[in-house]
Chain A
Amino acid sequence: MATTVVPPKLNVRRSPEPVPPGNGGFRNLVPNDGKLPVVQEYAPVPSKTGIWVVLAAISMSFAAFTSALVVRQGASLDWHHLVLPPVLYFNTLVLLVSSVSLELARRRVAVFMGGERTSDLNPALWLYVTAFLGSVFVVGQYAAWLDLRSQGLYLATNPNSSFFYLLTAVHAIHVIGGLVGLVYVLGKLRKTVLRRSTLDSFSYYWHFMGILWVYLLLLLWMKL
């Protein structure tokens, strides 16, 4: 039996940006003559600010790890050059492609949540692709660790290997956190209650993981 999917009721006021600044925001205040209707009743979405808070914290953490690496390198003469496992470059490509697939997903999801239902829309497909590529990345990182282990380089072998494992592991943990967030997004999409702001915030996080990884790769390549 075929069922008809009813498009969700759209609250047009919560539609995509740009929206004028809200009543509590910049200068749009209750006027002295008390005429309230002039003041708009709209609040910016907290998850957008929230994700920047999260990205700021993660940036500071990796800044701390970076400075630990720099200081440790200068602390003694036991720095042994480490050849980066080649699988890292493949993983980089995978992560960057996952950002592309996420962007593809965003547009399709926006159309879907806007009420359009066509058979070739497939909003969730590209999100599944992103999840798959993210998982491939994490597995690939594990492969890089196995590569180092086969060379006899473990966490405590020398400072280079310590930082390699540390930085890649902490990044991978955050990517796994992103995958958990993606599962949440997919769950909301299945119930057709996915807010645009939720998806936007998730995509900022995911793209940041990609940018962060490129930074870490450069750091590891230059310093280790």
Chain B
Amino acid sequence: MSDTTAHAAAHHGPPTTFIRKHVFSLDHKVIGKQYYMLGLAAVIIGMVLSWLMRIHLAWTNFAIPGLHLLSATGAPGNVMTPEYYLQLMTMHATFMVFFVLTVAPFAAFGNFFIPIHTGAEDMPFPHFNMMSFWTTFVAFCVMLLSFFIGDGPTLGGWTQYAPLSAVGSVAGPGQGAGVVIWATSIAIFCVGQLFGALNFIPNILDLRCKGLSMWRLPLPTWAWFITSCMGLTSFSVLLPACILLILDHVAGTSFFVASNLVMNDQVLPHSGGSTLLWQHLFWFFGHPEVYIAIVPGMGIISHVLITSARKPLLSHRVMVYSMGALAVLSYMVYGHHMFVSGMNPFSSILFSFPTLMITIPSTIIVLIALGSLYGARLRITSASLFALGFISVFITGGVSGFFLAQPSIQILLHATYFVVAHFHFTMAIAAVFGIFSGTYFWFPKMWGRMMNETLGKIHFWCTFVGVYCIFMPMHYLGMAGNVRRYSSFPADYMQPLVGVHQFITIAALFTGAVQFIFIYNFIYSRFKGEPAPDNPWEGTSLEWSTSSPPPWDNFGGRHMVVYHDPYQYGVQGSKGDYVMQDSPEKVDPAHDEP
């Protein structure tokens, strides 16, 4: 009877060798932690790149010690050239968007917790799961390689617009081999993420334990499910786009380069391509990608807030429906990145309308999260502070999106620091706060030790103040006409704004330094933290029904049974203030998801 469920997941015994335990592991928990470490490495690289950028923007001719070691041509005498600024900027965004914001909230936490939340022993295809991590790791290494090959990494932005990205090295340093390496790395990354979605979706649909209906899944798992569906359909569009870009470089095709293009006094040999085609393909992927970055964070902070507030959300279903609506609408809005691209202005209306509509589910999500706190005695922990911070910065970022959604305003604000402020608030800060919240919340479960709460709170407050200092002034800069992706601002009208840039840089360096508190806390707690109990936060979902860290088969051979939804807090007539999801204690059916 029980071996049917046991065999539904690909049954593999406990690992015995070092390689199987720690390197090529089939265990989703190890794979999740490997992804987390990859995300951590990538965020450090991305952050250092941002410091280099910010220093250059504030003090353009400053000689940054040691920079010539990274690139002799890009930084002769340690002073960054304008091209090298663009190259560093491209790498900053690429590492952050792909290797941090897609990896950490989605692949890392998702891999670790989806089988546990569904009561399963492991993912359904553990070999594909292992391949998904190592494929992503290869993509990471290939991207790193671009720093050291030829004249450096590509300078076309993480968006790699054609024709700049497609014509080859005539367009500048890094536009030859650098673009091919970038596109190859991203293509490999797409494959890795598709292998991930291949595991996540069947696990959630097919491997749920006894009694666990879809509506009884915890919110992070719903978020990961929705995100997997988005990843499945968007990464499989980026992959063809990258293939076409690589072919334009190495095979002499002209998918993206129009005829008779003159660049640097050379007539390019291409014929007949469509430069706008790249933008359509890229942003069809690109907009769902930013929701892939944020939706897991929404699920994670909801989960954290419910546990910290000791009461469920105002409406579990509306939260799920809203996340689903975000996913569906995200495919209809991509043209709002292309309002000034030269496409038919009428299509701007067609994209602007759904972009304004998408603010509705986003608003519903933050209002439910906020409103659910009403009447709650919130337990203030590092995790819940970052969850509250998420709401704050997501609202701030979302509000600026309202303006950018309208073509008439975007004509003025496109490619200014206003846009930079918008996406950094919503992605760089909000999604990262989601990662931090998840880390502080789930570190005990993942590594079996408690993190230091005092350091966590210091980390939060300094980061929270710091990121507002960095990115709030950028709204003003944008409205004043400060163009983005410029390495310096020599124009007359820009001179009064250089002081603002210097303030931002100092805030950025301070906030970056504060992150070392987190890294110290992480490393110290990993080895010397207090051993964690099974359920340190008195949570109710299935991860708290097993040891910290869980055994190799997640539940020690038990076949989990779930009796109600995961957010039974403050149940009338109950002994304690929470009822675990796998506890047979009766709850009120009117306040339970069936």
Contacts and interface: CB of A to CB of B under 8 A. Distances in A.
B211 A23 contact: yes
Contacts of B562: 30
B5 interface: yes
Contact of A159 (B211, B272, B563): B272
A46 B206 contact: yes
Contact of A41 (B4, B197, B232): B4
Interface in B1-44: 1-5, 7-9
Interface stretch (B106-114, B252-260, B490-498, B550-558): B252-260
B252 A64 contact: no
Contacts of B201: 49-50, 53
B247 interface: yes
Interface stretch (A69-77, A88-96, A100-108, A111-119): A69-77
A56 B272 contact: no
Given A24-B212, A75-B273, A30 B561 contact: yes
B1 A43 contact: no
Interface stretch (A31-39, A121-129, A212-220): A31-39
A41 B2 contact: yes
A11 B4 contact: yes
Interface stretch (B64-72, B235-243, B456-464, B514-522): B235-243
Interface residues of B, number: 63
A2 interface: no
B277 A155 contact: no
B3 A11 contact: yes
A204 interface: no
Contact of B207 (A43, A53, A58): A43
Interface in B189-240: 194, 197-198, 201-203, 205-213, 232-237, 239-240
A57 B584 contact: no
B280 to A, nearest CB: 7
B271 interface: yes
A168 to B, nearest CB: 14
Q: Which one of B7, B205, B209 has the highest number of Cβ atoms from chain A below 10 Å of its Cβ?
A: B205
B251 A30 contact: no
Contact of A76 (B212, B253, B271, B584): B271
Nearest to B563: A30
A145 to B, nearest CB: 14
B95 interface: no
Contact of B274 (A29, A34, A39, A71): A71
Contacts of A13: 1, 4
A222 interface: no
A64 B240 contact: yes
Given A72-B274, A170-B243, 18 more contacts: A11-B3, A13-B1, A23-B209, A24-B211, A30-B211, A30-B561, A43-B4, A44-B206, A46-B124, A49-B201, A49-B205, A50-B198, A53-B197, A57-B197, A60-B236, A76-B272, A76-B273, A166-B243
15 contacts: A11-B3, A30-B563, A41-B4, A43-B8, A43-B206, A43-B207, A50-B198, A57-B235, A60-B237, A61-B239, A68-B244, A71-B276, A76-B259, A166-B244, A166-B247
Interface of A: 11, 13-14, 23-27, 29-30, 32, 34, 36, 39, 41-50, 53-54, 56-58, 60-61, 63-65, 67-68, 71-72, 74-78, 155-156, 159, 162, 166, 170
